[in-house]
């Protein structure tokens, strides 16, 4: 299981995603360019003390990520334009859970490349969740289904 962020816009969300990935033992892929200056030092700073626990892979762009992801597993895009609701979707242990930009989601080429598109049902009138909140819900369900939660450690 992997978590991937497509061109994140908000550094605090990236920091929260790094912490989420570190705590759940899931690698994180960052697909650049980001909407803010990104350096290894910035990643360490935004991750606080979780940077050393996180496995973070930076990709120079969409094509770089696609090449790397092709051999790793199924690409599952989370989108407000999804086809399958989260509670009904069946995950595999090698899935890559991909989340779009906070400001614009994912472009059509990303939608077209995804093996599956999933949405999180929301209450009437709600537009979308924070990207890391959505990632935490999706990753939690995917790890539950595949038996991939870490054993031992803290209680969250």
CATH number, domain containing residue 23: 3.40.1280.10
- Residue 152 gets which letter from DSSP? S
CB-based contact 26:52 (threshold 8 Å): no
Cα distances from 120 to residues 81, 128, 129, in angstroms, run: 10, 9, 9
What does the pLDDT average to over 63-75? 94
Number of domains in the chain: 1
- Give the domain range for residue 133: 2-146
Q: Does residue 43 surpass a pLDDT of 70? A: no
What does the pLDDT average to over 49-76? 91
Percentage of the chain lying above the pLDDT 90 cut = 74
Kindly report the backbone phi and psi dihedral angles of residue 99, in degrees, each rounded to the nearest multiple of 5, phi listed first. Answer: -125, 140
What does the pLDDT average to over 44-51? 66
pLDDT band at 44 (very low <50, low <70, confident <90, very high): low
Is 154 a domain residue? no
Beta bridge partners of 116: 76
Is 151 a domain residue? no
Is 69 a domain residue? yes
Q: What is the predicted pLDDT for the residue at 8?
A: 95
Is 80 a domain residue? yes
Q: What is the predicted pLDDT for the residue at 156?
A: 59
Is 71 a domain residue? yes
Please state the separation of Cα 73 from the chain's center in Å. Answer: 14
Q: What is the predicted pLDDT for the residue at 40?
A: 66
Is 49 a domain residue? yes
């Amino acid at each position: 299981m992997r978590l991937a962020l497509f061109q994140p816009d908000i550094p605090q969300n990236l920091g929260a995603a790094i912490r989420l990935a570190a705590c759940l033992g899931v690698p994180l892929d960052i697909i650049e360019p980001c909407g803010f200056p990104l350096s290894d030092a910035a990643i360490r700073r935004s991750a606080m003390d979780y940077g050393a626990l996180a496995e973070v892979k930076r990709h120079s762009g969409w094509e770089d990520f696609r090449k790397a992801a092709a051999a790793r597993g199924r690409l599952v895009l989370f989108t407000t334009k999804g086809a399958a609701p989260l509670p009904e979707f069946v995950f595999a242990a090698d899935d890559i859970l991909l989340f779009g930009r906070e400001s614009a989601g994912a472009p059509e080429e990303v939608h077209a490349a995804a093996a599956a598109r999933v949405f999180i049902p929301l209450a009437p009138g709600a537009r979308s969740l924070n990207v890391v909140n959505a990632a935490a819900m999706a990753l939690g369900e995917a790890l539950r289904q595949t038996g991939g939660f870490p054993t031992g450690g803290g209680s969250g």
